[in-house]
Amino acid sequence: MRLDRTDPLAALLLRSPIGALVDWAARVRASVQRKLLVAFLLITLLFIGMAAFSLLTMRGMTRQSELLDRAHQRLEWSQQIHHSLAMQMHLTAMALLVRDEAAIGSILRENNRFNEALARLEEAVEQPERAVIQKVRAGQEEAMAVVADIANLVRDSKIEAATRVHSTREDPLYRSIDALVSQMVQQEDARMVRLRDGMRAARERSLVVLGGFAAIAVLLALAAGFVISWMLIRPLSAAHGLLNELSSGRFGGSVKVPNNDELGELAVQLSATSRELARLDAEQRRAAQELAALNAKLQQTSVAKSEFLANMSHELRTPLNAILGFTEMLTDGLYGAVPGDFREPLADIQTNGRHLLRLINDVLDLSKIEAGRMELSLGEYSAEEVVNTVRASLRSLAEEKALEFRVELDAGLPEIMLGDAKRITQCLLNLAGNALKFTKRGRVTIRAERQGDFVHYSVADTGIGIPPEQLEAVFTEFRQLDATITREFGGTGLGLSITKKFVEMHGGRIWVESRLSEGSTFHFTIPLKSEMASTV
């Protein structure tokens, strides 16, 4: 079940009085654990009650069936008495018919059986029935006396007198006993029917009561389960709703639940957190606005700075070019022979002047790029020409340092490509210049090859290498890795960042691989057909 969705039946029940019960359970000031324990205890008690009631019912039923058994026994005894009586009457008639005294013996045996059953019955019955039994017993004793008379008369062969005694005394006597015994049998029979009916009714009654009890127990258990579960679900779903709001960035909402337990505390804490988040959010928005305003100002300042630098470097270049020009003319002897002592300082002026010019040119390029005023002038060019130009301009430097300077051109390179040849040459010059600068012995190799829709340029050297943690930093402006090395090799710290910018303006990518003391390889790619003529 999703927490934020309530099924229609639960919603209906929550609006009914059971909903008020859920509120009540939530408001009870106790821990969730205690509430759960009480609910489980209640349900358990209900089932224990049901089990006790079932036991009681079973005991009642057992008692009833015992009574029925006894009634059955009594009916059997009274039927036996009835049977013995009938046998006695029959045997007397037989004795008269066959005139045999021996038959009388059988009557006596039957009498014994009669008395035995009568005694058992007497023990089992209550007072009113005992009176009837005593009457039967008195009648039977009298009948036995008459049977004895008849036996004497038969022995004396006075059959006629015996027959008379039989029909005048014994027969009416037996009939009256028979009437009493029949009444007893009927009574026992009726009693059994009553018992059986009572038992059936009791069974039906207990079935109804037990069913009702079970139904009520199940309903109560369901109600308790509903109350307890909704007492927990409601605050959780409210908290879930608030968390959803928070996660979608709507702060400041609160959770209101009637719970006076841990969940209530949780709701209070969540509401407080949400309020705090709202406050922080407002603060952060304010800070962001301030920051945006500051950023805009900074950007304006940065553009102004770049513009100033661009103008300044432009203005610096003109007098510097003049200085370099005149120095060169001096060195070349256009103003007459240069005294020997002047040659060295003049050469120094030239070297430093060129270095300054490079620096000014780099600063000019960088500020133009940053001011958004740098544009590529795209045109058709040949990679081979670019590479050869770079090689030609740096060959003398390589020779000076006795370094092997190699160029490797891929045969698959297209003859004509689209890009800014001047800038691509500048990039390659920067990289190859660095490679020669930072290599004392060994080799520098410039390579150009086609890779899909790109030309892949690389410059590999066997120089000092770059420590792994500095690999990314080399592309940052004014970043020179080691002051002592820089002092030794010279440089401005702008070459690589300008190269990176030009490469990216073309839609390419630049990266470096290096091993300390073993050498570095700088790579960059330029699309075969660069479309980007805009600034970075």
- 96-111: b (≥16 Cβ within 10 Å) or e: beeeeeebbebbeebb
Task: Please measure the distance between the N-terminal and C-terminal CA atoms of the chain and give it in whole angstroms.
Answer: 53
- CB nearer to ligand ADP: give 271 or 514: 514
SS3 for 384-408 is HHHHHHHHHHHHHHHHHCCCEEEEE
Answer whether 149's CB lies under 8 Å from 96's CB.
no
**Residue 517 CB, nearest approach to ligand ADP (Å):** 10
Does the footprint of ligand ADP cover residue 438 (CB under 6 A)?
yes
**Residue of 129, 170, 365, 461 that binds ligand ADP (CB under 6 A):** 461
- CB nearer to ligand ADP: give 160 or 482: 482
**Residue 309 CB, nearest approach to ligand ADP (Å):** 17
Indicate the burial class of 503 (C-beta count within 10 angstroms; 0-12, 13-18, 19 or more): buried
# binding residues, ligand ADP (CB under 6 A):
22
- CB nearer to ligand ADP: give 81 or 363: 363
**Residue 395 CB, nearest approach to ligand ADP (Å):** 18
- Taking the C-alpha atoms of residue 282 and residue 280, their distance in angstroms, rounded to an integer, is 5
**Residue 506 CB, nearest approach to ligand ADP (Å):** 18
Answer whether 150's CB lies under 8 Å from 96's CB.
yes
- CB nearer to ligand ADP: give 53 or 489: 489
Q: 3-state DSSP helix/strand/coil percent for the chain, to nearest 5?
A: 70, 10, 20
Task: Select the span of 190-198, 207-215, 267-275, 432-440 touching ligand ADP (CB under 6 A).
Answer: 432-440
Q: What are the tokens at 434?
A: 């660095």
Q: Which residue is nearest to ligand ADP (CB)?
A: 491
- DSSP-based three-state secondary structure for 447: strand
Sorted by sequence, the CB contacts under 8 Å of residue 440 that are 6+ apart come out as 401, 463, 464
Q: Are strands 519-527 and 510-515 parallel, antiparallel or unpaired?
A: antiparallel
Q: Which of 530, 480, 468, 522 is nearest to 505 (CA)?
A: 530
- CB nearer to ligand ADP: give 495 or 508: 495
Sorted by sequence, the CB contacts under 8 Å of residue 502 that are 6+ apart come out as 376, 420, 423, 424, 426, 427
**Residue 362 CB, nearest approach to ligand ADP (Å):** 8
Binders of ligand ADP in range 505-524 (CB under 6 A): 520
**Residue of 309, 421, 466, 505 that binds ligand ADP (CB under 6 A):** 466
Does the footprint of ligand ADP cover residue 435 (CB under 6 A)?
yes
Residue 421 sits at the vertex; the CA angle it makes with 439 and 399, to the nearest 5 degrees, is 30
Task: Select the span of 152-160, 199-207, 336-344, 475-483 touching ligand ADP (CB under 6 A).
Answer: 475-483
- DSSP-based three-state secondary structure for 453: coil
DSSP-assigned letter for residue 490: -
Indicate the burial class of 297 (C-beta count within 10 angstroms; 0-12, 13-18, 19 or more): exposed
Binders of ligand ADP in range 478-507 (CB under 6 A): 479-481, 485-486, 491-497
**Residue 464 CB, nearest approach to ligand ADP (Å):** 5
User: What length is written for the chain?
Assistant: 536
- CB nearer to ligand ADP: give 271 or 520: 520
Does the footprint of ligand ADP cover residue 173 (CB under 6 A)?
no
- CB nearer to ligand ADP: give 87 or 464: 464
Task: Select the span of 78-86, 314-322, 395-403, 457-465 touching ligand ADP (CB under 6 A).
Answer: 457-465
- CB nearer to ligand ADP: give 235 or 519: 519
Q: What are the tokens at 299?
A: 């950007």
Q: What are the tokens at 533?
A: 């003529």
Does the footprint of ligand ADP cover residue 257 (CB under 6 A)?
no
Answer whether 136's CB lies under 8 Å from 183's CB.
no
- CB nearer to ligand ADP: give 385 or 513: 513
- For 481, phi then psi, to 5°, come to -65, -40
- For 31, phi then psi, to 5°, come to -75, 160
**Residue 406 CB, nearest approach to ligand ADP (Å):** 15
Task: Select the span of 45-53, 78-86, 138-146, 434-442 touching ligand ADP (CB under 6 A).
Answer: 434-442
Task: Select the span of 152-160, 245-253, 283-291, 428-436 touching ligand ADP (CB under 6 A).
Answer: 428-436
- Taking residue 318's Cβ as centre, other Cβ atoms within 10 Å add up to 8
**Residue of 474, 505, 526, 528 that binds ligand ADP (CB under 6 A):** 474
Stretch 338-377: interaction string toward ligand ADP, x if CB under 6 A: ----------------------------------------
Task: Select the span of 16-24, 326-334, 338-346, 456-464 touching ligand ADP (CB under 6 A).
Answer: 456-464
DSSP-assigned letter for residue 471: T
**Residue 245 CB, nearest approach to ligand ADP (Å):** 51
Does the footprint of ligand ADP cover residue 471 (CB under 6 A)?
no
**Residue of 206, 327, 434, 525 that binds ligand ADP (CB under 6 A):** 434
Beta bridge pairs of residue 449: 456
Q: Which of 140, 164, 139, 142 is nearest to 154 (CA)?
A: 164
Q: Which of 75, 62, 72 is nearest to 202 (CA)?
A: 62
**Residue 387 CB, nearest approach to ligand ADP (Å):** 17
Residues that bind ligand ADP (CB under 6 A): 430, 434-435, 438, 461, 463-464, 466, 474, 479-481, 485-486, 491-497, 520
